[in-house]
Amino acid sequence: MLMETLLRVLIGGIANGAIYAAVAVGFSVIYRSGRVFNIAQGELLMIATFMCMALFGTGMNHWLAILLTAIAMGLLGLLIERLMLRPLVGQSEMALFMATLGLLLILNGLGTIVFGTEPRLFPDVLGTERWRLGGIAIKESNVLGTALVVVTVVALAWFFRSTRTGLFMTAVAESHQIARSLGVSVTRSIGLSWAISGVVATIAAVAFMSGRSVSPDIATIAFVALPVVLLSGLETVGGVLLGGLIVGVGQSMAARWLDPYTEGGASLIFPFALMMVILIIKPQGLFGWKRVERI
Amino acid sequence: MQQASQNTNPSAPPPPLLSVTNVEVRYQGSILVLKNVSLTVGEGEIVALLGSNGAGKTTTLKSISSLIQSEEGEVTEGQIFFSDAPIHNQDPVVTVRRGLVQVMEGRRVLEHMSVEQNLIVASAPIKASRQQLNAALEEVYGIFPILSSFRHRQSGYLSGGQQQMLVIGRALMAKPRLLLLDEPSLGLSPIIVTAIFESIARINRELGTSILLVEQNAKVALNIAHRGYVLENGRIVMEGTREELLGNEDLKEFYLGISASGGRRSFKDIKQYRRRRRWLG
Amino acid sequence: MYRSCGSFSETYADDMALLRTRWQWLALGVLLVALVAFPLVVSPAWIRFATISGITIISVLGLQILVGLAGQVSVGQSAFMGIGAYFAAVAAVKLQLPFPLPLLAGAFGAAIIGILFGLPAARIKGFYLALTTLAAQFVFQFSVVRLPDNWFGGSAGISVARPFIFGTQVSSTTGFYYLTLPIVVMTVFATLFILRSRVGRALISVRDNDLAAEVTGINVAYYKVAAFGIASFLAGLAGGLLAYENQLAHFEQFTLFESIWYLGMLIVGGMGTVLGAVLGAVSLRLVQELLTLAGPWVAQLIPGARYDIAFPMVNVVLGIMIIVFLIYQPRGLAHLYRRSERYVRHWPFPY
């Protein structure tokens, strides 16, 4: 009985952790390229979700619609880099962070104006079957969604570690000046990272939203994914899988054993409490780069 | 000016690969750092740029490589030509693609990446196939064999000397025609410095790469350089061939620590020296 | 402080004075008279707007000390306002404390919790610190509803009656305006003094280079946490006033969006000065008010827009303003004001 509960908690946690990891990887891809902490990552996810649904509404093939959304989101990422970040080159990290707060307001507002506030049902693109594993029902869409996220993150980690373009972007993450002195174009790397982030937001949308009811509020999920990226470290890409697993399972456990006593508050607050703890104990996270500062 | 004409090598110098003419550099549009600096580096030459702290050596290099831009600096007067094309105030990335690579001061390795990843990143300006990339890697490993044995180690954990070798080797990945080296001896032990300068001479000899070398350690630098310039307070105060500079009394006194008359010269002489140089520069 | 030539101080006291010339005293007098006379000439809707703007000014001044002075970005200012509002409401309704005391209870309560969330500042900085304020924002929103109903009223919030002063209830819009005005003026002057005090200079040194500040003997962690304390104190004060004004303390008034707006007010107004905080707060509240008025009209233009369009419109416009100011005028309206003042003074000469 306990084993079954534990297994159920674990499986639910993994599915949740995967979506957090998918959002978190969007944060880290952008952060490592330009030291920009894109707080509007959740808004990108929301726009991708609704763009997908708008295309589904035209009766188009689902996979074609998703492909088109991914392309459009990549272009949106490039557009943001071009219009907002390039004019801010050379400003402090803080100014860049505040600019993404402005971006959050704009995208959230536009999303609400264009798509409305009423919840709508996202079609089951990942299947509706339920599989049974030792007496526990597992949704096909959850399994496929998790697999999609894992494949995406692993592919990205491989990209940044083993391809030339990926290594150029990692060099930009280390130091803009060194990268420039070696002939690596910093602006191109930043633009590319925003495009990747837009595409990743689309993948996250498909992996997570399939068969759920969605409204512009889903952008909030990005804030729950914050502890994941902090736990794994802002510069790492592959590490978000472990971070997602820890936060997802932890939240799922809080939901199972603490929520009954806290009216559902424990699982909501858990990620933020964890975030505070990480920030105090190990701000650079498990795999992040520790930077020594000099005067 | 007279000094310059006296010191020019009478045997026709090789055609200049890099020519810096009357360059003036300002930071933030107002702080004047370089005044009327002119120098040339010929094809296949090693040229040393000597000077004390704050003389403007690093600024000279950065204005050539355009890396000065990220520090709000700008070439406000004069011209810099590299293989007959103007390169001042350009995108540094374009300069690197043309074959001019600067190795910055202070062993700036990409410390979270492995030795080999550092080298691969530096191949950015050339469109290399897999084989060409491997050949370039082997070439660097041939010059610095120790890097080969550490190729998968994280570069932040290398020793200072190894890091210096890595950044020089890394610059070679772009197949440069001219290498700008900023203080390769900084903070390294004499044995390592000797080894590194031997490698620099070898790079010049075997790969035919021209080198503009900035050093405070004038002795080591002049050991391998063909010609040299002395920079003081943002002006070139002296130039000449290796032999001329090594024979110059002032240089011996102030940069090489060798005194002609045995004891240290009096303070008065020092003052004279400074004053004379300023008027000439 | 900028002065024209020929106006100089003869004594140390002169030099330290906030207002140095007769014209400055006159300008202050005119401004105060205008503020007092304001409700006599406009409609109640605009009086209420002015009250809300005044409350916003208090909160943004707090944020100015934290962000503009100490350089620590906070995206949780409205959560601390909310905490102030709830504490004030509890003090007024449950404890039945007389009027000014609930405001103080709210301010001190918010300050204590602000310091608690500011404690990580001893170890971290930059946007890592901003994330702890973000955590504060969400922890506030999620926990207030779920705490027992008899603590903070659960999802209904706490209703607060308008305060009694000398036995009479300040129930009219105008009355509450006159109640808020002196508090706002006092806060403005208090902030001016903090800016010019030892604390203010210490905070500026922390902002400009915390390592250098530390080695010159400034206890960086202490001052950072103190900045959090002051910022949330003022947020709590503003929150308490807002609870009285709305006659309700409710968590939905204190969202992340509000927090970002306050930060936006600082960016638009200008970092580091009292003038910037005031200009930013008033101008963005004005933009918000105008957009809210224009909302229904715009909604007709967009086919199929059945819902409240004002709120997302405010978000879009404010977001654009934040980015535009960051790019083109990072020193904000305060800098524009100073420049135009100088221009007028020197006219017709360029300088």
**Are C75 and C137 contacting, i.e. CB atoms less than 8 angstroms apart?**
yes
Q: Residues of B with CB below 8 A from A183's CB? A: 92-93, 96-97, 101, 122, 124-125, 174
Give residue-wise pLDDT tens across range C319-329: 999 999 999 98
Q: Write the single-letter amino acid at B2.
A: Q
Chosen from A162, A167, A190 to mutate, greatest number of chain B CBs within 10 A: A167
- Residues C312, A95: C-beta atoms closer than 8 Å: no
> What is the complex's ipTM, to 2 decimals?
0.89
C148 HSE (CA, 13 A, CB side): 3
The answer, for B185 touching chain A at a CB cutoff of 8 Å, is no
What pLDDT shows up at residue B278?
Answer: 45
What is the distance between the alpha carbons of residues C264 and C322, in angstroms, rounded to a whole number? 6
Question: What is the rounded average pLDDT for all residues in chain A?
Answer: 88
**Are C266 and C282 contacting, i.e. CB atoms less than 8 angstroms apart?**
no
- Residue indicated by tokens 């196939």: B129
User: Nearest residue on chain B to A174, judged by CA atoms?
Assistant: B110
Task: Enter the pTM of the model.
Answer: 0.86
What pLDDT shows up at residue B11?
Answer: 56
Q: Which of B238-242, B254-258, C268-272 has the lowest mean pLDDT?
A: B254-258
The answer, for B174 touching chain A at a CB cutoff of 8 Å, is yes
**Are A184 and A164 contacting, i.e. CB atoms less than 8 angstroms apart?**
no
CA separation, residue C125 to residues A6, C118, C195 (Å): 38, 10, 21
Exposed/middle/buried for B1, CB within 10 Å: 0-12, 13-18, 19+?
exposed
Q: Residues of A with CB below 8 A from B108's CB? A: 175, 177-178, 181
Q: Write the single-letter amino acid at C80.
A: F
Distance from CA of A163 to the nearest CA of B (A): 9
Question: So where are chain B's domains?
Answer: 2-280
- Kindly compute the dihedral angle of the four CA atoms of residues B8, B10, B12, B17, in this order, to the nearest 10 degrees: -10
pLDDT above 60 (res A292): no
> B237-252 burial, b for 16+ CB within 10 Å, e for fewer?
bbbbbbebbbebebbb
User: Average pLDDT in the B144-165 region?
Assistant: 92
For helices C127-146 and C100-118, what crossing angle results, to 10°? 130
pLDDT above 90 (res B251): no
Number of C-beta neighbours around residue C117 at 10 A: 24
- Which structure tokens are listed for B63? 């204005």
- Residues A171, B121: C-beta atoms closer than 8 Å: yes
CATH classification number, C38-346, choose in 1.10.3470, 1.20.1260, 3.30.1490, 1.10.287:
1.10.3470
What pLDDT shows up at residue C23?
Answer: 78
- Which structure tokens are listed for C275? 């003038």
Q: Residues of A with CB below 8 A from B104's CB? A: 177-178, 181
- Residues A102, C320: C-beta atoms closer than 8 Å: yes
Q: Write the single-letter amino acid at C302.
A: I
- Residue indicated by tokens 């639910």: A12
**Are A7 and A181 contacting, i.e. CB atoms less than 8 angstroms apart?**
no
What pLDDT shows up at residue B261?
Answer: 54
Give residue-wise pLDDT tens across range A37-81: 899 999 999 999 999 999 998 988 989 999 999 999 999 999 999
User: Nearest residue on chain A to B105, judged by CA atoms?
Assistant: A178
With bands split at pLDDT 50, 70 and 90, how would you rate the model's confidence at C263?
very high
DSSP C169: E
Of B157 and B274, the structure prediction assigns the larger pLDDT to: B157
CA separation, residue C156 to residues C93, C146, C161, C248 (Å): 15, 11, 15, 9
Give all chains having 3 or more CB-to-CB distances under 8 Å with chain C.
Answer: A
- Residues A176, B70: C-beta atoms closer than 8 Å: yes
User: Average pLDDT in the B91-114 region?
Assistant: 91
- Residues A105, C316: C-beta atoms closer than 8 Å: yes
- Residue indicated by tokens 């827009």: C305
Report how far apart the first and last C-alpha atoms of chain B are (Å, whole number).
7
- Residues B124, A175: C-beta atoms closer than 8 Å: no
What pLDDT shows up at residue C20?
Answer: 66
pLDDT above 80 (res C293): yes
User: Nearest residue on chain A to C127, judged by CA atoms?
Assistant: A94
Backbone region of residue B12 per phi and psi (left: phi > 0; alpha: psi in -120 to 50; beta: other values): beta
Please tell me which of the candidates A170, A174, A183 has its beta carbon nearest to residue B124.
Answer: A183
Question: What domains sit in chain A, N to C, each tagged with a CATH number?
Answer: 2-123+135-281 (1.10.3470)
- Residues B108, A179: C-beta atoms closer than 8 Å: no
- Residues A99, C146: C-beta atoms closer than 8 Å: no
- Residues C264, A102: C-beta atoms closer than 8 Å: yes
Give residue-wise pLDDT tens across range A192-232: 999 999 999 999 999 888 888 888 888 888 888 888 988 88
Q: Write the single-letter amino acid at B24.
A: E
pLDDT above 90 (res B120): yes
Report how far apart the first and last C-alpha atoms of chain A are (Å, whole number).
59
Describe the strand order of the beta sheet including B235-241 as a list of residue ranges.
Answer: B100-103, B178-182, B210-215, B46-51, B227-232, B235-241
Distance from CA of A106 to the nearest CA of C (A): 4
- Which structure tokens are listed for C200? 């203010």
**Are C309 and C290 contacting, i.e. CB atoms less than 8 angstroms apart?**
no
Q: Residues of A with CB below 8 A from C321's CB? A: 102
Contacts of B258 by beta carbon, 8 Å cutoff, 6+ apart: B252
Q: Write the single-letter amino acid at C283.
A: S
- Residue indicated by tokens 């050539």: B64
What pLDDT shows up at residue B260?
Answer: 53
What is the distance between the alpha carbons of residues C120 and C234, in angstroms, rounded to a whole number? 20
Percent of chain B at pLDDT > 90 equals 44
Give residue-wise pLDDT tens across range A230-268: 888 888 888 899 999 999 999 999 988 888 887 778 888
- Residue indicated by tokens 């959002």: A23
Which superfamily, per CATH, for B2-280? P-loop containing nucleotide triphosphate hydrolases (3.40.50.300)
**Are B173 and B9 contacting, i.e. CB atoms less than 8 angstroms apart?**
no
What is the distance between the alpha carbons of residues C165 and C168, in angstroms, rounded to a whole number? 5
Give all chains having 3 or more CB-to-CB distances under 8 Å with chain B.
Answer: A
What pLDDT shows up at residue B280?
Answer: 41
CA separation, residue A68 to residues A19, A60, A76, B224 (Å): 21, 11, 12, 60
Angle at CA of residue C29, ends C26 and C31, nearest 5°: 110
- A vs C, Cβ pairs < 8 A, gives 139
Q: Write the single-letter amino acid at A185.
A: S
User: Average pLDDT in the C328-339 region?
Assistant: 88
- Which structure tokens are listed for B205? 């000899």
DSSP A258: T
What pLDDT shows up at residue A227?
Answer: 87
Q: What is the DSSP string of A1-26?
A: -HHHHHHHHHHHHHHHHHHHHHHHHH
What is the distance between the alpha carbons of residues A132 and A126, in angstroms, rounded to a whole number? 17
Beta strands C158-159 and B85-86: pairing type?
A: unpaired
User: Average pLDDT in the B46-61 region?
Assistant: 89
User: Average pLDDT in the C211-224 region?
Assistant: 90
Chosen from A276, A281, A282, A290 to mutate, greatest number of chain C CBs within 10 A: A276
Percent of chain A at pLDDT > 90 equals 42
What pLDDT shows up at residue C11?
Answer: 74
CA separation, residue C59 to residues A122, B86, C159, C197 (Å): 40, 55, 22, 20
Which residue numbers of A have CB closer than 8 Å to B's CBs? Answer: 90, 161, 164, 167-168, 170-171, 174-185, 235, 289
**Are B215 and B49 contacting, i.e. CB atoms less than 8 angstroms apart?**
yes
The answer, for B146 touching chain A at a CB cutoff of 8 Å, is no
Q: Residues of B with CB below 8 A from A161's CB? A: 117
What pLDDT shows up at residue C4?
Answer: 62
What pLDDT shows up at residue A83?
Answer: 93
Chosen from C322, C325, C331 to mutate, greatest number of chain A CBs within 10 A: C322
What is the distance between the alpha carbons of residues C69 and C109, in angstroms, rounded to a whole number? 23
Give residue-wise pLDDT tens across range C218-253: 899 999 999 999 999 999 999 999 999 999 999 888
Q: Which of A98-112, A279-293, C145-159, C280-294 has the lowest mean pLDDT?
A: A279-293
Backbone angles phi, psi at A263, to 5 degrees: 55, 40
CA C198 to chain centre: 22
pLDDT above 70 (res B272): no
**Are B72 and B78 contacting, i.e. CB atoms less than 8 angstroms apart?**
no
pLDDT above 80 (res A295): no
Whether chain B lies against chain C with 3 or more Cβ pairs closer than 8 A is: no
Contacts of C37 by beta carbon, 8 Å cutoff, 6+ apart: none
- Residue indicated by tokens 């993948």: A203
Q: Write the single-letter amino acid at B253.
A: E
Please tell me which of the candidates B93, B111, B122 has its beta carbon nearest to residue A185.
Answer: B93
Q: Which of A274-288, B4-18, C23-37, C107-121 has the lowest mean pLDDT?
A: B4-18
What is the distance between the alpha carbons of residues B60 and B49, in angstroms, rounded to a whole number? 9
Give residue-wise pLDDT tens across range A164-187: 999 999 998 888 889 999 999 988
Most confident residue range from A160-174, B40-54, C44-58? C44-58
Backbone region of residue B44 per phi and psi (left: phi > 0; alpha: psi in -120 to 50; beta: other values): left
For helices C44-63 and C256-269, what crossing angle results, to 10°? 80
